[in-house]
Chain A
Amino acid sequence: MTGEPLLSVRDLKVVFGLDEGSVRAVDGVSFDVMPGKVVGIVGESGCGKSVTTKAMLQLVDPPGRIAAGEMFFRRAGGEAVDLARLDPRGREIREIRGAEIALIPQEPMASFSPVHTVGEQIVEAIRLHARQWRPEGGAVSRSDARAIVVELFRDVGISMPEQRLDSYSWQLSGGLRQRAMIAMALSCKPRLLIADEPTTAIDVTTQAQVLALLRDLQKRHGTAIVFITHDLGVIAQMASHVVVMYLGRVMEEGAVDAIFHSPRHPYTRALLRSMPGMHGETRVALPTISGTLPHPFNRPTGCPFHPRCEEAIAGRCHARVPVLRPVGGGQSASCFLHHDEAEAT
């Protein structure tokens, strides 16, 4: 890839200090997001996808905290800021949140308050980040903001936008609520959109509509997207670049075609094999990943995947933690099959 990344995450660590012990939810994650590209983060439940994105916005729930790492974000003015260093309640992160980086959260109900209409809430957001609409300064009037929302609703395919504006989120069907959420996220013209499982709770035909909408908006506005999902089909259709996570670490990352057609990491390969497809033989045993996901308090030593890895190298994989390194083809993997570099102990 050429050019400067919009966001560059390096060795991010997020720890939850619980009474029973500490959970290393995100344990050294690195990846880049290029302007206007879609990065897909994929991995099974609990691997740290949501926490990673919450960290970007300084929204990690206590008792969680960013324990280490950097997240350089290039602001609209061109200067780079380390999101990891920002005060969660400070002015700068509040300026960035919503305006430059917008989030479509995993819990569909979390996005809108039930006591205000969706229109009022988006109008408020637009007025709060007036600078996004009035670069030369000045406020956005209520009626101007309302006109912007009508346009946005039309843009995301909500019919009869004037009426829908005055609905409460709970009055909207799943598909419409999803569209309203996307409109809300786009309301301040973010340069980076984080979509955390935006279609997991909706049906497949509605999902197809929402994915098509996101693809179209992304093309038209050139917004970069970090797209989180556990659905490999969705990732294949949405992402240009894929990050595969397991137990809080990046196992492999690379261009979408490389990840699906020449995966290098044993976990990526196993994950792809275990999925029932829409072609091929039916009613036969699917290849599985042996064992179970370890409990967060019981992280394995060495490579986090080693207790379940069919290709684990005796004497090596359980002892040292492989780091993410380029393995050719523009891909990187954290695996001793491909390089010898381990984390310093």
Chain B
Amino acid sequence: MSSPVGAQPLLRVRNLRKFFPIVKGVFRRTVGHVRAVDDVGFDVQEGETLGLVGESGCGKTTTSRCILRAMAPTSGEMLYRRRDGSTVDLAPLSRRELRPLRAEIQMIFQDPFGSLNPRMTLFDNVGEPLLVNGMLNRGERMDRVAELLRLVGLRPEFMHRFPHAFSGGQRQRIGIARALSTNPRLVVADEPVSALDVSVQAQVLNLLLELQERLRLTFLFVAHDLSVVRHISDRVAVMYVGQIVELAPTKSIFERPRHPYTAALLKAVPVADPRVSAGDVLLKGEVPSPANPPAGCYFNPRCPFADERCRREAPVLRELASGHSVRCYHAERLELAVPQERIDL
């Protein structure tokens, strides 16, 4: 998909920050902050899938929870374009002001087991957002839930069963049906297939792609698995210690990464082909703590290209080529190893 150039994005995130205080002692004095999200910005165009990847703790979930306003950001803007064309900043809204927007922005969770209420039937689990949004007639809700179950490939007769009777993949379908019940426009999916086996994962990915086309959904797809993100996304943002370090169309970022961290991340993925030998491990050391990030570029202690300036000053995300942004001083000059070609038979 692509939207007309210059079209207003459905969601525009600017300078988003979320800091968690670190408190100590009986007086609960604040001794520092976890910079979980530290100046994140991106646009999401209507109908596209933006993938957000990065290693554990880099701030993916915190970013998505801010957008869903499951928590209030520390600072920044999240401009959302409503169905009627007006734009609203989600960041400062109160609970009451958010209520009418809840139907438009929905969530799919990682854990298909934890996200459903085990004591409620599928009818109640899937129909709950409808009830909350004022669909009071039970018969009407039944019809809608039946339609939703069919949409995600489950039999409507299952409506009166409880979640425990379903497999992981089926439960994830139920979670998707629930998220779609209110006809959302933006769906934030946080690791929606990470808990699933390969074969089940493929079924759920296919379902998400199909639903996106049918219902013209916009996805913010959060995951740590690079091949999954590559498969589903139109564009990909790579996060490292609370920041986006690279943002580009999927093809560009996977074929020619421009940030040293992205290149190392791609190199680290084990190729499912024994004829492609594992390369040298590029990254030594560990991800720094977001409570105590290094001075300068957050990647400098692990970066083979770091120089004096990288250790002193922090680069900003800047556009290198049309639609390809990088947070690195030296991106133009780096020859980064392209991941090895797979030998196909």
Contacts and interface: CB of A to CB of B under 8 A. Distances in A.
Interface string B209-236: 1100000000000001011101111100
B199 A277 contact: no
Which of A235, A271, A278 has the most B CB atoms < 10 Å from its CB?
A: A278
A208 B199 contact: no
Nearest to A274: B202
B274 interface: yes
A270 B286 contact: no
A174 B286 CA distance: 10
A173 B268 CA distance: 19
B207 to A, nearest CB: 10
A290 to B, nearest CB: 9
B203 interface: yes
B7 interface: no
A73 to B, nearest CB: 27
Interface in B265-296: 265-278, 280-284, 286-287
A55 B303 CA distance: 45
A68 interface: no
A279 B341 contact: yes
A188 B198 CA distance: 36
A237 interface: yes
A212 B278 contact: yes
Nearest to A279: B342
B137 to A, nearest CB: 33
A293 B167 contact: yes
A91 interface: no
B142 interface: no
Contacts, number: 144
Contacts of B226: 204, 278
Interface in A275-300: 275-279, 282-289, 292-293
Chain A interface residue count: which class?
Answer: 35 or more
A175 B286 contact: yes
B342 A261 contact: no
A136 B210 CA distance: 68
A82 interface: no
A244 interface: no
A309 interface: no
Interface stretch (A56-64, A225-233, A336-344): A225-233
A230 B273 contact: no
A190 B56 CA distance: 32
A257 interface: yes
A209 interface: yes
Which of A207, A235, A260, A292 has the most B CB atoms < 10 Å from its CB?
A: A292
A203 B56 contact: yes
Contacts of A286: 202, 205-206, 231
Contacts of A272: 272
Interface string B314-345: 00000000000000000000000001011011
Nearest to B345: A261
B272 to A, nearest CB: 4
Nearest to B254: A278
A113 interface: no
A256 B276 CA distance: 12
B284 to A, nearest CB: 8
B155 to A, nearest CB: 12
A292 B282 CA distance: 39
Contacts of B268: 204-205, 207-208
Nearest to A207: B268
B234 A275 contact: no
B198 A211 contact: no
Contacts of A301: none
A141 interface: no
A274 B199 contact: yes
B199 A260 contact: no
Nearest to B212: A283
A148 interface: no
B198 A232 contact: yes
Contacts of B231: 276, 282-283, 286
14 contacts: A207-B270, A208-B278, A208-B281, A209-B281, A212-B281, A230-B198, A233-B270, A236-B270, A275-B272, A276-B202, A278-B269, A282-B251, A285-B210, A288-B199
Interface of B: 49, 55-56, 167-170, 197-203, 205-206, 209-210, 224, 226-228, 230-234, 250-251, 254, 264-278, 280-284, 286-287, 339, 341-342, 344-345
Given A212-B281, A274-B198, 14 more contacts: A175-B286, A205-B287, A207-B268, A212-B280, A236-B272, A257-B275, A277-B272, A278-B230, A278-B269, A278-B342, A282-B250, A283-B231, A285-B210, A289-B202
